[in-house]
Chains A and B, each alone.
Chain A
Amino acid sequence: MSYENDTVYQAVKAKFEDALEEIKEKPMLTFYIKYEHKDKLKEIAQVIADQIGTSYGETCSAVDYPDKQIFDVFWFIWSFDTRKMYAIRTRVPYSSPKVPSLVEIWPSLNWHERETHEMFGIEFEGHPNLAPLLLEDYEDIPQYPLRKSVTLEKRKTRHI
């Protein structure tokens, strides 16, 4: 495993080994945090932020897995110093879709978390303003449209 020698990985492992669920290398170095340890998520993010130097949160969203009853929430971070992407992810159960907000560490994630909230219904605890953003004045769009439970009408294919 090539990530074993990564200083960011070592720093996280030294402090929070029991909170780590899984490490992935593709498409970027990904830290899966156990949902039971979600209160440590912010501290872990802070350790990563200290390690990677100048950085900004590039995006944040979720993937819905109805068969496993989880949302896979991710935050993608770009570091200018190491010139690499990093990801922090956690698998959030349907029963309590709540995760800590990382806006304090990377303020650029503000609108991204807001969008994830309105598209998936995930509560970001500590976020300054979770008001609707893109779907503000729409009335005919179902709630949380990016969840898999919301389906589109079947596409009609015209055969010539």
Chain B
Amino acid sequence: MPEYKLHYGPQHPGTHPFRILLTVDGDVVVTAEPHIGYVHRGIEKLCEYRSYIMNIPVINRACFMEGSFHEHAYAMAVEQIYGVEIPQRAKYLRVLAGELSRIHSLLSWFGGYVSELGFSTMYFWPWADREYILDLFEELTGARISTTYILPGGVRWDLPDGFEKRVEKVMKYLEGRLALYDKVVFKNEIFKARTKDVGVLKPSDVLKYGVTGPMARASGVKMDLRIDAPYSIYDEIEMDYNLLDGGDCYDRTKIRLMDIQQSIDIIRQVLKKLPGKEKVMKKLPIKAPVGEGYARIESARGIHAYYVVSNGDRNPYRVKIRGASFNNMSVLPLIAKNVKMADIPAILGSIDVCPADLDR
């Protein structure tokens, strides 16, 4: 049978808004070439036309699932330009928002991924659990998804009364649910058959393609910015690398569930060590001094980095965004080679691409 080309997406239920050009020989995928850019909004250009603080709602939409991480990285880069140190309590609150964001991002990914593999019920369970996190966000920031909570100079609001207790209640509930997921998904023979030894990423290819985050750690590469180069208050948090060495879709799923457990532990430590009440926002002047800042952050998907250049005006001169999905996606042609057509959703899903930060 001759080889032929097949467009997978952008309107396929199993893909996000991007297209994979597959060359198939019968049922075997010979090459897979990603074509991206369907949701390119030119955020980097838009940022040049807004002042530092007006950029926050734009940056937030660089990835709707984990806006807190983008805000945090951008805010840290801008603070480098201003040369300010923000209040300690604000740093803790940023980490709290970030880790809550990580849990909700990973839970929604998990639901979507397993449903692509045929577990229809498992689509709804994590998405329902995620609602509890969104409720916490609503209480903390007034919004569920686009929180615009972290600004250059601090965070917008302090914790509401009794918030810690409600967080602990949700964390306790989530821990129980993680045990349930383990039973339903990871011990399931069908799930194992679909994901074990599928789309294996070798540790040597991780650095070659710039893969970061859970995907790199599932291949056994010790890489976690929170430990390697602790930003904010991560040097005061006790944590260890989550590592697995399979590098297949199964391990990539498993490590993200381990990351949720780790985030729960971090949130507990943050609430325990939270410093006493103080002002959580330091007002910055509208015009920034001349300079540049570069900040990196470990998000739920990998390393996001922001490079901001100021020429002394009220708007940034240039904002460069490095989205984690960008490099993670570039590895697809390698791991989706010589696989069955039916494995493509399993491999594509396990990369955890956020098309919004892929295209920016």
Contact = CB atoms under 8 A, between A and B. Distances in A.
Interface of A: 26-28, 54-59, 61, 63-64, 74, 76, 78, 80, 83, 85, 106-112, 133-138, 145-146, 150, 152, 155
Contacts of A137: 37
Interface in B194-217: 207-210
A133 B46 CA distance: 19
Interface of B: 35-37, 40, 42, 44-46, 49-50, 77, 80, 207-210, 223, 228-229, 291-294, 296, 303, 305, 307, 309, 317-318, 320, 322, 326-327, 330, 359-360
B36 A133 contact: yes
Q: Enumerate the 7 nearest inter-chain pairs by beta-carbon distance, A residue then B residue, closest first.
A: A108-B210, A134-B37, A59-B322, A27-B294, A56-B207, A63-B318, A61-B320
Nearest to A115: B326
| Most A CB within 10 A of own CB, among B296, B305, B307, B359 | B307
A111 B294 contact: no
B207 A108 contact: yes
A3 to B, nearest CB: 16
Given A27-B80, A76-B294, A54 B207 contact: yes
B330 A111 contact: yes
A112 B320 CA distance: 11
A59 B322 CA distance: 7
Contact of A107 (B46, B209, B294, B317): B209
A145 B45 contact: yes
A59 B208 contact: no
Contacts of A61: 307, 320
B228 A134 contact: no
Nearest to B207: A56
Contact of B294 (A28, A64, A133): A28
Contacts of A108: 207-210, 327, 330
Contacts, number: 81
A132 B169 CA distance: 49
A135 B320 contact: no
B35 A136 contact: yes
B45 A152 contact: yes
B44 A146 contact: yes
Contacts of B327: 108, 111
Contacts of A55: 207
A78 B305 CA distance: 12
A80 B223 contact: yes
A111 to B, nearest CB: 5
Contacts of A136: 35, 37
B307 A83 contact: no
Contacts of B40: 134-135, 138
A109 B37 CA distance: 18
Nearest to A155: B49
30 contacts: A26-B292, A27-B77, A27-B80, A27-B292, A27-B293, A27-B294, A54-B207, A55-B207, A58-B210, A58-B296, A58-B305, A59-B305, A61-B320, A63-B317, A64-B318, A76-B305, A78-B296, A80-B228, A107-B209, A108-B207, A108-B208, A108-B330, A110-B330, A133-B37, A134-B37, A138-B37, A138-B40, A145-B42, A146-B45, A152-B45
Contacts of B320: 59, 61
Given A27-B293, A135-B40, 13 more contacts: A26-B80, A27-B80, A56-B208, A56-B210, A58-B210, A58-B322, A80-B228, A108-B207, A134-B359, A136-B37, A145-B42, A150-B45, A155-B50
B58 to A, nearest CB: 11
A152 B80 contact: no
A27 B317 CA distance: 16
Contacts of B208: 56, 107-108
A26 B36 contact: no
A77 to B, nearest CB: 11
B205 to A, nearest CB: 9
Contacts of A58: 210, 296, 303, 305, 322
A27 B291 CA distance: 9
A135 B359 CA distance: 10
A137 B38 CA distance: 9
Contacts of A107: 208-209
Contacts of B44: 146
B296 to A, nearest CB: 8
Given A61-B307, A76-B294, A111-B327, A134 B209 contact: no
Contacts of A145: 42, 45
